[in-house]
Structure 1
Amino acid sequence: MRRQGAQIYLIEGRTEKQKRAPIEKVAQALVEVVGAPQEIVRVWIHHVRKKNWGSAGRTAKSLER
């Protein structure tokens, strides 16, 4: 069976606990929804610098997020 995966983009500065929770929940969702065995599920978290993240036409850095 092919590996199943998901990618999550988060603004930099998250704790290990804050990263662990979505990894666990997204992996479990893939197991439940697509029937993938837990051992083939991969979840990647991409850290995005605040100056490279935009919302409403402004960077997260300028919005102090």
Structure 2
Amino acid sequence: MPTIHVEMFEGRTTEQKRDFVKAVTEAAVATLGCKAESVDIIFQDVKKENWATGGKLWSD
């Protein structure tokens, strides 16, 4: 507890993901009262051709 799923466009660097994981973990600990060791974060990188908003692919 908790497991946080993050879907975003591919292209973020490992350093950006590392910084994000640190910030989200700290926020979960502060707001949920859990231990950092119990926070799981799963990234799913999505190609822009596989994501659409408002009837339009992001790759268009």
Q: TM-score, normalised by structure 1?
A: 0.80
Q: Which residue of 2 aligns with 1:21?
A: 19
- Taking the aligned partners of 2:31 and 2:4, their CA distance within structure 1 comes to 13
Higher relative contact order (CA 8 A, sep 6+): 2
Q: Distance in 2 between matches of 1:17 and 1:35?
A: 26
How many pairs are equivalent?
60
- Structure 1 runs of 4+ with >4 Å offset: none
Counterpart AA for 1:35: G
User: How far did 1:44 drift?
Assistant: 0.8
Counterpart AA for 1:48: V
Instruction: Report the aligned-residue RMSD.
Output: 1.2
Select 2:33's aligned residue among 32, 35, 52: 35
**What TM-score does the superposition give when structure 2 sets the normalisation length?**
0.85
1:22 CA displacement? 1.6
Q: Name structure 1 gaps, 5 residues minimum.
A: none
